[in-house]
Amino acid sequence: MQKSETKLTPPHQRMSRLRQIFQHGDLTWQTLIILMSVLVLATMFAIGWMLWHESSVGRTTFGWSFINPFGDNTWDPVGNHFNSWPMIYGTLITSLVAIILALPLGLGVAIFLAELCPHWLRTPLGLMVELLAAIPSVVYGLWGIFIFLPVIVTPIGTFLGNSLGVIPGFSTFFAGPIPVSGASRLAAGLVLTIMIVPTVAAVSRDVFLAIPGSQREASLAMGATQWETISRVLIPYGLSGILGAVILGLGRALGETMAVTMVVGNSPKIAASLFAPGYSIAAVIANEFTEATGDLYLQSLVYLGLVLFLLTFLLNGMARLLILATTQKGSKVAA
């Protein structure tokens, strides 16, 4: 019986292998990417755990009644009674108005920049669109208070009230005169529209520029006009990317704080009319967190942050499912 001999790798071979690993960098970069991905997940879980832990008193006191739309929908810090539905409603309404208006505007800007714009104008105009996305929200809020509300929102509100407000079915959403100040859910939705249009436009433009030129050439060669090429070929081809841009815009609209706080009116009451003042989750946290006295009040605000955290996850998850369904449908059509 011969004993098996253990073969040791010479030191120069081990050094050569290490040198190859660090020289080419594949294993190093894979490790860094995995670590960064784990760090992102850990950060999300840490935020969720903090919100869950720090809202224990609010969750124990109110439970599911905190988000019950059919209960006593009042936010009363003096009486220590808190229901978040007025803020949830305000957040959803203003974000919905913003995304409905921003999608056609942003998509139109993206189509012009990618397909119709002259080359000499494409770069400076694209730069201006991206700069709009970088403007701080408080600047939008100040502009909204002094310029946008009196000059644009109030006339638009008056026009909508006089035209759509008298049509059955629309009268509920455009009932009553808009406040003299212009602060309302309509104002918040319009300001959010301006804020998220650059995001939708910039991402959608990159989607159109990434579409192979062969798609355009094949469509034009078959006799399609430029508009038919855009509407029937390019938009369906890049639909998943366009929906991704909508998700990014919706995420910003849901969590926007300062601009909404300055123009929404800050009234924790539920009203169907867009002309009525409202509140959003981010706005009430920004306004009242530093003034919160007592554990119940403070942890109710943290509980409100947890609701916004979960609401964002829910809406983004639904949007991702929509993208998946759209992609699968497109694949079946292509097949």
* pLDDT per residue as tens digits for the range 68-90: 888 788 898 888 889 999 999 99
Maximum Cα–Cα distance across the chain: 103
- Average pLDDT of the chain? 86
195 contacts 95 by C-beta, under 8 angstroms: no
* pLDDT per residue as tens digits for the range 120-168: 888 899 889 888 888 899 999 999 999 999 999 999 988 888 888 788 8
User: Residues 238-260: what's their mean pLDDT?
Assistant: 89
In whole angstroms, what is the distance from residue 331 CA to residue 313 CA?
27
Q: What is the pLDDT of residue 23?
A: 59
Q: Is the pLDDT of residue 333 over 50?
A: no
In the chain, helix, strand, coil percent, each to 5? 75, 0, 25
Paired tokens of 308: 């916004």
- Model confidence at 259, pLDDT cuts 50, 70, 90, reads very high
Paired tokens of 235: 């938009």
The residue type found at 309 is F
- Model confidence at 179, pLDDT cuts 50, 70, 90, reads confident
Q: What is the pLDDT of residue 29?
A: 78
* pLDDT per residue as tens digits for the range 24-65: 656 777 888 899 999 999 999 999 999 999 999 989 998 888
User: Residues 197-224: what's their mean pLDDT?
Assistant: 91
In whole angstroms, what is the distance from residue 224 CA to residue 222 CA?
6
Q: Is the pLDDT of residue 106 over 50?
A: yes
- Model confidence at 192, pLDDT cuts 50, 70, 90, reads very high
Q: What is the pLDDT of residue 334?
A: 45
Torsion of CA 295, 296, 300, 306, to 10 degrees: 60
157 contacts 250 by C-beta, under 8 angstroms: no
Q: What is the pLDDT of residue 113?
A: 92
Q: What is the pLDDT of residue 164?
A: 82
The residue type found at 168 is P
Q: Which domains does the chain have, with CATH numbers?
A: 85-290 (1.10.3720.10)
Task: Show contacts of 135-138: CB within 8 Å, 24+ apart.
Answer: 136/258, 137/195, 137/256, 137/257, 137/258, 137/259, 138/258, 138/259, 138/262
The residue type found at 32 is L
Q: What is the pLDDT of residue 191?
A: 94
pTM for the full predicted model:
0.85
